[in-house]
Structure 1
């Protein structure tokens, strides 16, 4: 019997199966429990793109049971919702046991291509892993995660996805009194580095092996037969594969000016996905040392520290896998490719932003030179690259140089650019740049505008913003203001771990 038959989703109602792959691991990995209902739930937002990838009809949300299911007020028949246990290093310090403190896995759905996708409610109430928390998410943070998930996906950066948000007038205390919301997240798996750390640090080596085998069998089967030059140990091969995915992810973040804000090991996906959007930020004025999280006074997770922190986190994962890998030399060898894979991936992405498909050292130097100019003046990151794209499309040089105080230096750089890339056909350059330099990113002030209206139960700005972010490389002339410089008040937005 095909296991996936148990995951079928009737077109009238998006039912998921709780008898999924992660649930089958057993009680050492999770606790079964139901979400805690919220009073009088209402729809806040839905991603038609995510629903389409699940194979659900456009009107799936109109099914009578849908709102209750995704608010956590109803449990579909036959499902066994659960919260998983994990641990982690937070801001470089061992935090011990953590877990899904406000997230509950509903189960799995089958995408049209056969891929199994987990659906998880975030903000669905207390779990055994809530510690001092209340198990809830607020409307503000739910909107930010929903928009960021779909925006990153549209930018081509691996990420968990968001299907919908449900809201309620249930009061939730944070720095101020806010209202509750539940965001439905979607991913092939929500397993983190911290899952491995939990079983390793608690000397549950049988469970550690079970988890590693689970991840290899379902997501990294090639690790059973490593390629030439790769570690022969399947668990070392797993570490190497995760390191490569993480290197690619970091290159994607850096290239679009994205800062995660809380790169703890429990916020690192074993699949190389962006996960757990909190005090994230897309760069406004370019500052390599920018700290987007006001809960991070030392700047551990500043923009320019993200790649080395990712490697630190991989070292923590390697330590957790040592009972399975055995030899420290094997673990170190598995991590070594990160040191070359990340810069290569980043250079390729930055070259694409210049319009170069086959980068050479001089292209890398040209990109670094521009970043240096931008850093000195805190020139807007997204707008600079988009204006360069417009210049290649035929706009006058002033379109680019007017972004800089030192226009002479910017003009000199532009002359170097035009000379170096003169041999590349304009159409080829422009096509690559228009796919690499978004016109729109989710700036903090844009999210704040959507949140402010949503608090008044007006979700029109949220819907408009989602539509723009789903196609970030398009012009969207009706929303041209979002493609310009942020307003002055944007610099006063403060984000913390509660964001």
Structure 2
């Protein structure tokens, strides 16, 4: 199966029924099946576009992509004012639904899904332009997907917009690439409207709730995310990847928003998901970035729309569980509101996540309890994730409970940033006025989200404990009184909370230590290393305004012999090379900084020498340690100034910008390489122009961009 032939996106195989979310969880009663969803598309399509509370037992709603400006301009023909305005609105929306099948050829006949398009006369011309395709996301998640000539259309990655390279012209006969663009731009929809439940299929959006900035926000849901399909990974049929569009139009969860995304925010997510994966931090993945230049989007200014296609084994979040058992007394709030608890839907979701998403090592056939294990496994994964954030200076910006993946994946890239000058208290989101999500607080707020997961599952866990650690069955809470449910909730929380907190802190600390040792080029973990080396180094960076990533990268070239007798001048020179990494030398007491850094380097040298024997099999110990450190400390970092520059170049000129975007993606996917001929001492005026641009993109950048804050608006 690992060598399966490549197929176009419309011919990707579907997972077996037991592995399919929409065949195991409960749909919105207004879109109860793909076959009946088609009736909705024809007769009452506003069901998909009208913000509403879903039934308390629903996990998702079927929905079709509709990347159109909102509010919709529903204008009757001149002189034909409709008698029934509501009916006219439904007719207007229905005319733009993808209801026309255009699946052709033998391959289409054998494919599990059919392609459906809206009436072109009703939709009008809606050009799409491929801006980016993630080779690494494709390779890792969808290795059998045929993208046709898509990479050729993007051209050779280059940071030089002035290149006159002839970019390949689209071949109208390239069906695989056209399939890709049609489906991933929301121009067409993949579906199967058969009554056979094993074959039926339609796209969907998930219902979830959550705490935003620590305040209960009620039902949220996939307001602009639509999962198109899921397909098994060819090397592991148990592992399924979902393809999800972000920015494909309104869903029942959009509230007052338009369901769209803009080019700048889409570029940020497209690049960073792959960058995080390259750093070894768990993340959703990127597949494509497509511009819709004719679709205007109102943010702080009028911008154009774009869609990111992203990938993950599952997009389920902690908020999915909160929606099924909200905090007591929180069913009526502002915004979208919130349905009351539905304990049966909670059980269904938990069993699905435990069996197929987290694949918990539980004896399901024996009916063993799974509630506690689900919480603990999610805690393990999220602890490792946030430890990676801290080690690599990543700040998410909006760690609401609905933005925390049950799988421990970094998800929903909004106002994120990577650290420049080290500052424990840096806040990367200018909407976070209280600093709730500052860098230092990230582990605590992820733990806050995990406590919310425990609270949602607490009555179920308590019921499992009460019946001898056996799983609850269907209807488990139907006859339970409010007092009984409260008792189970208390017992569930009390039986897990302390263990959850201890496990999270232990796993997070262990992962942080292990990764920090790699960044410092140490093989043995000594108990005193964090107190003697790691924390003092970060304090040095903060006190003397050193760049976080450049300082770590520079330490790869440190030799412990520099602190030996007669090496004072060489050590002083190395210290100066570190101080050169501060972007604000005028704000640093250079003399004190040199003294402090020298003292730390002496401690570091002694620690390196103490484990020299463990490196001797490598031959040249210093060279081996340098190589190991360069493989753990990125040369290229997706800094804010880089993102802003790439965004501007793409917005100004898609044709040249997409080649720059491709090169930055390439650098982000291989961050440890010596971009810009890092160690080359050739004079600058003798270096190739592309190499010089690589070097610039690896720099700290303009001072005005240090600590740049983004907004949540995207």
TM range (shorter): over 0.9
- 1:160 offset after TM fit, Å? 0.1
Structural mapping, 1:38-53, within 5 Å: 39-53=126-140
Partner of 1:416: 603
Partner of 1:314: 450
Out of 299, 305, 314, the position equivalent to 1:174 is 299
SS at match of 1:337: helix
Name the stretch that deviates more: 426-435 or 98-107: 426-435
Q: Higher Cα Rg: structure 1 or 2?
A: 2
- 1:37 offset after TM fit, Å? 4.2
SS at match of 2:558: helix
Structural mapping, 1:210-359, within 5 Å: 210-225=348-363, 233-326=369-462, 327=491, 328-332=493-497, 333-359=499-525
Partner of 2:578: 400
Q: Give the distance between the partners of 1:428 and 1:410, measured in 2 at CA.
A: 24
SS at match of 2:304: strand
Out of 556, 561, 581, the position equivalent to 1:389 is 556
Out of 627, 630, 633, the position equivalent to 1:437 is 633
Residue 660 of structure 2 is aligned to residue 494 of structure 1: no
- 1:9 offset after TM fit, Å? 8.5
Conserved 8 A contact 1:450-1:459: no
- 1:223 offset after TM fit, Å? 4.2
Name the stretch that deviates more: 485-494 or 473-482: 485-494
Q: Give the distance between the partners of 1:44 and 1:97, measured in 2 at CA.
A: 33
Partner of 1:26: 26
Q: Give the distance between the partners of 2:439 and 2:525, measured in 1 at CA.
A: 24
Out of 178, 186, 202, the position equivalent to 1:72 is 186
Instruction: Write out the 4+ residue segments of structure 1 that deviate beyond 6 Å after TM superposition.
Output: none
**TM value normalised by structure 2:** 0.66
SS at match of 2:287: strand
Conserved 8 A contact 1:166-1:181: yes
Unaligned runs of 5+ in 1: 227-231
**TM value normalised by structure 1:** 0.93
Q: Report how many residues are paired.
A: 488
Out of 344, 347, 351, the position equivalent to 1:209 is 347
Partner of 2:240: 116
Name the stretch that deviates more: 360-369 or 134-143: 360-369
Structural mapping, 1:156-175, within 5 Å: 156-169=280-293, 170-175=295-300
1:60 to 1:217, Cα distance in 2 relative to 1, 3 A: farther
Partner of 1:93: 215
SS at match of 1:403: coil
Q: Give the distance between the partners of 1:208 and 1:428, measured in 2 at CA.
A: 52
Partner of 2:325: 200
SS at match of 2:538: helix
1:255 to 1:129, Cα distance in 2 relative to 1, 3 A: same
Partner of 2:538: 371
Out of 665, 673, 693, the position equivalent to 1:466 is 665
Name the stretch that deviates more: 482-491 or 127-136: 482-491
Partner of 1:229: none
Q: Give the distance between the partners of 1:13 and 1:240, measured in 2 at CA.
A: 36
Cα deviations across residues 109-155 of structure 1 (Å, max 9, x unaligned)?
A: 22221321000000000000000110000000000000000100111
Q: Give the distance between the partners of 2:149 and 2:452, measured in 1 at CA.
A: 42
Conserved 8 A contact 1:45-1:462: yes
Q: Give the distance between the partners of 1:44 and 1:402, measured in 2 at CA.
A: 37
SS at match of 1:34: coil
Conserved 8 A contact 1:247-1:338: yes
Name the stretch that deviates more: 57-66 or 355-364: 57-66
